[in-house]
């Protein structure tokens, strides 16, 4: 591992002057790619349930079909990440897949409203989910491919902000276009995806990235099973603990988002619309806090920033269980979103920096996604089960307890990090 790390360090450093301008440029292109992809995903989440309801009466079945993309992602994203890690072309290892996959995803997406039966709609949904899931980790993996470890948090913050802004884009398309032009509305995100694909493929040469060059100089390719074996058997448990933290905090985060509407109705006495709007200001707070969270991590360390952010999130949830009014809940969720930014901006970066070499960055991006999705599935189910036993009133306290478990794991990870010789948080 030491030899591979040394080779990577050499690839990310050169005798040329400051690279800040080139880092900002490539970060912009990566953020643009993620913006285009997430624009289709968010519009998909907004409008495809309505298409399903035209053919499927069961709300449970609609929910299951809408969750199919996350289920597919658990299997597809580590696989495509590893496959791209082992790809060698004159265009690099990520861009060839993006050049093909993003246009195919755009074409499948635009056909969604034109389907005429449940079977046809589900077939197109599965096709879109399969292709789009392969694109997510590839675009995200360009961050560690191009950006050196010490600057990855701020680059990841820009990427996360771009992804968050697509929520607003999808909402505006729904508000301004869907009612009058339901078919044409799907063409807008598709067009964005096609235009951005051409622009990114034209401007980005993945083969020039330090990560690709270091991987290309390595003597052998690494199969996925070898990466898993190393992860599970290595005496250095930091990577496993970090993934466990991602799953636990992901569970707390998703529970706080997915259960807030029934919580607002049952515990706060709000209408469905009022309860659904409780988290809107917190989304703005998250966007504002994202870049400062990256700068704090670079100054004070990623684990400290992640731990402090999770502590702020947990404390906010606990406070929300004590002061249960609509106004207080909005404020508490804004503070919690600021805390969550400290974790969400830096967790993937810590995992990239802990990866044994540049050869496996795409695979580690996929592993991060898997644990995040598992948390997104298990957290709301777990908190929902506790709610069935104790009622809606203490739900935010239940979420705080789950977040505290994540804090305990990251605290142990911090102790291991202080004794380790391989820095991951610079």
User: What's the 3-state SS for 296-314?
Assistant: HHHHHCHHHHHHHHHHHHH
Do residues 126 and 66 make contact, with C-beta atoms less than 8 angstroms apart?
Answer: no
CATH code of the domain made up of 227-419: 1.20.1250.20
On the CB side of 25, how many CA atoms lie within 13 Å of its CA?
9
Domain boundaries, the chain: 16-221, 227-419
227-419 and 16-221 share a CATH fold: yes
First CA to last CA distance, the chain: 18
User: Which of 149, 137, 146, 142 is closest to 302 using CA atoms?
Assistant: 149
Segments of the chain with pLDDT less than 70: 1-19, 59-60, 63, 272, 421-426
Residue with tokens 């957290």: 379
**Rounded alpha-carbon distances, angstroms, from residue 375 to 84, 368, 389:** 25, 11, 21
> pTM for the complete prediction?
0.86
Do residues 93 and 362 make contact, with C-beta atoms less than 8 angstroms apart?
Answer: yes
Give the CATH number of domain 16-221; options: 1.20.1250.20, 3.90.1010.10, 1.20.1070.10, 1.10.8.10.
Answer: 1.20.1250.20
pLDDT reported for residue 176: 82
pLDDT reported for residue 12: 62
pLDDT reported for residue 10: 56
Q: Rounded to an integer, what distance in angstroms lies between the CA atom of residue 28 and that of residue 140? A: 12
3-state helix, strand, coil in the chain (%, to 5): 80, 0, 20
Please, is 418 exposed, middle or buried when counting C-beta atoms within 10 Å of its C-beta (0-12, 13-18, 19+)?
exposed
pLDDT reported for residue 55: 87
pLDDT reported for residue 293: 94
pLDDT reported for residue 3: 55
Q: Rounded to an integer, what distance in angstroms lies between the CA atom of residue 299 and that of residue 211? A: 24
């Amino acid at each position: 591992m030491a030899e591979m790390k040394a080779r990577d360090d050499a690839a990310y450093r050169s005798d040329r002057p400051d690279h800040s301008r080139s880092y900002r440029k490539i970060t912009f292109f990566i953020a643009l790619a993620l913006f285009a992809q997430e624009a289709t995903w968010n519009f998909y989440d907004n409008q495809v349930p309505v298409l399903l309801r035209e053919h499927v009466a069961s709300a449970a079945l609609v929910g299951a079909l809408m969750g199919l993309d996350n289920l597919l992602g658990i299997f597809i994203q580590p696989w495509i990440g590893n496959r791209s890690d082992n790809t060698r072309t004159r265009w690099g290892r990520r861009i060839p897949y993006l050049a093909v996959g993003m246009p195919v995803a755009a074409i499948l997406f635009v056909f969604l409203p034109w389907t005429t039966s449940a079977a046809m709609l589900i077939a197109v949904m599965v096709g879109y989910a399969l292709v789009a899931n392969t694109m997510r980790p590839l675009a995200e993996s360009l961050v560690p491919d191009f950006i050196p470890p010490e600057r990855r948090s701020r680059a990841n913050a820009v990427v996360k902000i771009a992804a968050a802004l697509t929520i607003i884009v999808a909402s505006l398309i729904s508000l301004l276009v869907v009612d009058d032009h339901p078919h044409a509305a799907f063409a807008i995100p598709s067009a964005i995806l096609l235009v951005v694909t051409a622009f990114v493929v034209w401007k980005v040469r993945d083969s020039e990235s330090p990560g690709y060059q270091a991987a290309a100089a390595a003597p052998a390719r690494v199969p996925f099973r070898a990466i898993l074996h190393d992860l599970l058997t290595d005496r250095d448990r930091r990577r496993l603990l970090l993934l466990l933290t991602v799953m636990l905090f992901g569970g707390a985060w998703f529970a706080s988002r997915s259960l807030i509407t029934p919580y607002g109705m049952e515990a706060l006495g709000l209408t469905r619309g009022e309860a659904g709007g409780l988290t809107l200001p917190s989304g703005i707070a998250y966007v504002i806090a994202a870049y400062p969270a990256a700068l704090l991590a670079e100054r004070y360390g990623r684990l400290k920033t992640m731990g402090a952010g999770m502590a702020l999130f947990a404390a906010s949830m606990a406070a929300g269980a004590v002061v249960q009014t609509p106004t207080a809940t909005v404020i508490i969720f804004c503070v919690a979103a600021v805390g969550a930014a400290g974790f969400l901006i830096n967790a993937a970066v810590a995992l990239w920096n802990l990866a044994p070499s540049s050869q496996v960055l795409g695979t580690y991006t996929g592993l991060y996604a898997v644990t995040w999705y598992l948390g997104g599935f298990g957290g709301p189910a777990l908190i929902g089960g506790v709610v069935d036993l104790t009622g809606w009133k203490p739900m935010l306290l239940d979420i705080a307890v789950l977040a505290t478990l994540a804090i305990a794991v990251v605290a142990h990870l911090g102790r291991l990090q202080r004794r380790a010789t391989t820095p991951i948080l610079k």
